[in-house]
Amino acid sequence: MDRIHVAGPDLTGNEEAYVVDAIRSSWISSTGLYVERFEREFADLCGTRAAISIANGTSALHLALLALGVGPGDEVIVPSLTYIATANAVRYCGAEPVFADIEPETWCLDPNAVETAVTDRTRGVIAVHLYGHPADMDAIQTVADRHGLWIVEDAAESHGAKYRGRPTGGLGSIGVFSFYGNKIVTSGEGGAITVDDRELEERIRLLRGQGMDPARRYYFPIVGYNYRLTNVACAILCAQLERFPELIAGRQRIFDGYRRRLEGVAGIGFQPVATWATPAPWLFCITVDSERLGCSRDELAAVLDRAGIETRPFFHPLHTMPPYSNGTWTNLEVTERVAASGLNLPTSTMVRDPELDRIADAIGSLAQASRR
């Protein structure tokens, strides 16, 4: 029986043709027609004035913070329930992440917790659109405005998501995306920064290209970084964007299929969706109530693994990870509860109805066995 994987790229469009075209053109580094095309089309998707292609999502976070002037002695408020790159990028700048709790209704930053976390060293907030669900950006913006803070959107997982009808990536000072192999839109590795402010765009582009003055070749007024993305990678991304509605629809079909099959299974819960949100269907999330299901989240994952079904647990709370566990972190109860109960199910567009049946039957059988 074939193993069902959590995620995998859908490369059934013009990806190969565009890569071959880029290679034949000899433009395989960080300039070329596909770089220009991708940046233009991705900015249109996010409703921003500009998009900047970046080597990966982590580098994009780092550049965003550098462009906003984050440095030693500063604090940046972040959720603890996120991929570790969110906090690591703060540390790259010599600053400290301050962890705030999440809302049970969205699994994203709680605006009240953000308010409580502000100190005289706070410079900004990284609002993560966790598992594709937008954070409550208006409420967080109200807190940020009250204290003179900027907001970086960590939209790595939210391609195509909308907050009150507005695309993620254009809701804060800067938006940051990842195109890692498990994302809805992928180039294997890759990232992007979306921005409206022209001065921020110019600073990000300067930092991304080793700090070389665009008007004076090989003159470097600042210390920069080599965080550029190749024309070959952008060729893949252009092919992905051509099929973006199809990619979204493919994953939404899987989301809807899981909900139909698992609704009513005792002990299985779903990711909450706010009335104002249109989440991106990235990875399908369930929560496990061990008392009602009769086994823990990890025990369920082990059963599915033996059945040839790959899953992955939710992110470990960052405040419990060795690099960040030396702080006195309190009031993160929702973070810890959600993280301990959450599991991602296979969500590649290659998952078909028979595989969905197989996954749902394995979970349902376990629930039935626990009630005997």
- Dihedral (CA of 145, 149, 154, 160) sign: positive
Query: Where does the pLDDT of residue 65 fall: very low under 50, low under 70, confident under 90, or very high at 90 and above?
Result: very high
pLDDT tens per residue across span 8-45: 999 999 999 999 999 999 999 999 999 999 999 999 99
Query: What CATH number belongs to 244-370?
Result: 3.90.1150.10
Higher pLDDT, residue 302 or 365:
302
pLDDT tens per residue across span 181-206: 999 999 999 999 999 999 999 999 99
Query: Where does the pLDDT of residue 301 fall: very low under 50, low under 70, confident under 90, or very high at 90 and above?
Result: very high
Q: What's the CA dihedral at 208, 213, 219, 225 to 10 degrees?
A: -10
Task: For residue 157, give the amino acid letter.
Answer: E
Query: Where does the pLDDT of residue 366 fall: very low under 50, low under 70, confident under 90, or very high at 90 and above?
Result: confident
pLDDT value of residue 274:
98
pLDDT value of residue 329:
87
The domains of the chain are located at 15-242, 244-370
pLDDT value of residue 134:
98
pLDDT for 79 beyond 60: yes
CB 333 within 8 A of CB 29: no
pLDDT for 327 beyond 80: no
Architecture (CATH level 2) of domain 15-242: 3-Layer(aba) Sandwich (3.40)
pLDDT for 368 beyond 90: no
CB 291 within 8 A of CB 297: no
pLDDT value of residue 326:
85
